[in-house]
Homo-oligomer: A and B are copies of this chain.
């Protein structure tokens, strides 16, 4: 007995990650897996087929999945792939069901058991499976790299015989995992860093990274540790307080996302116009439409001397490390369901029950909302 595991090559534009890395093959085999992988699946992450030990490579993705017990991917695969899968087989990838109604319908029709990685509950036992966190940390680091290579100034203080330049002022808006990693990276480089979040409890985290915290006087703590949406009046108060920090910054990194909804707008066009010429905004929430009114998702724009970078799928830019962490997140989830060389799903396990999106032709959402409200937060995302 063994579990047939199939790893797909990603086909969505700009997706460079892969859901298996060479360092995990032996561990998965030990769990009872037989590994099949689509040829070239790791190419975009600079992992050649030859780097994988004990993996069977196949060119045809439909042939690859038709005998698979479990299919692993990063993005939801094409529906033809789902249709080629065995009924009752398992698919594990990011889905964002609200954006993919046809895909979800296809999962239901084919009776695929789908675990959607964005649904991993934010409880301590599931931290090692939390792909949103692992990928967001990388995005936060990479936002600083993007800022550095698009700014006309340096981040650190650099002393030359002719005089001193820097340090630059960096404002990080949204202090989830991505925002905190952005703060840590900018601090390492010696920039002067301010953090801001609508949730006042993030202040301690900013201070622990030696950044200062912008206090706007509005508390927007919501359920489950996530931010609630602000009222229009609160938004005005916050914007007014933020404007002077926005206008003093050389680099702004924004990371605020409300999953399933459009990203909250933290910076208006008027605020951009008031910014220093040469300053840069890196908008990490471009996938959700962006935190800046002047962002064009997927593009870099220049307005009034300000450069606004709104990259899509930022973790994919760090494909090697992002694949490494994502594959480990998957491995830890698989370890919950693979025992004695077979797949056994314990539906009493909160992690599996919460993460499941579809099973046996039914949506798992109903179960989730029947449970405590705490679970609803698993749908939320803090980059």
**Contacts known (A148-B145, A149-B146, A152-B319); A161 close to B133, Cβ less than 8 A:** yes
A residues 301-350 touching B (CB-CB < 8 Å)? 305, 317-321, 324-325, 328-329, 332
Contact across chains for A46 and B278 when beta carbons are under 8 A apart: yes
Contact across chains for A161 and B134 when beta carbons are under 8 A apart: yes
Complex CA–CA separation, A46 to B158 (angstroms): 20
Complex CA–CA separation, A45 to B158 (angstroms): 19
Which of A46, A152, A320, A324 has the most chain B CB within a 10 Å cutoff?
A152
Contact across chains for B165 and A321 when beta carbons are under 8 A apart: yes
Which of A47, A141, A145, A166 has the most chain B CB within a 10 Å cutoff?
A145
Residues of A bordering B, CB below 8 Å: 16, 45-48, 51, 127-130, 133-134, 137-138, 141-142, 144-146, 148-149, 151-154, 156, 158, 160-163, 165-166, 181, 185, 188-190, 277-278, 305, 317-321, 324-325, 328-329, 332
Contact across chains for B325 and A152 when beta carbons are under 8 A apart: no
- Chain B residues with Cβ under 8 A from A144's Cβ? 148
Copies of this chain, tallied across the complex: 2
**Contacts known (A185-B156, A188-B188, A189-B189); A134 close to B149, Cβ less than 8 A:** no
A324 vs chain B, min Cβ distance (A): 6
- Chain B residues with Cβ under 8 A from A188's Cβ? 156, 188-190
**Contacts known (A145-B149, A149-B146, A153-B321); A160 close to B137, Cβ less than 8 A:** yes
A145 — nearest CB in chain B belongs to which residue?
B148
A261 vs chain B, min Cβ distance (A): 26
A44 vs chain B, min Cβ distance (A): 9
Having A48-B277, A148-B148, A153-B320, one finds 12 other A-B pairs with CB under 8 Å, namely A16-B152, A46-B277, A46-B278, A51-B277, A141-B156, A142-B154, A146-B149, A152-B317, A154-B321, A162-B332, A163-B325, A185-B189
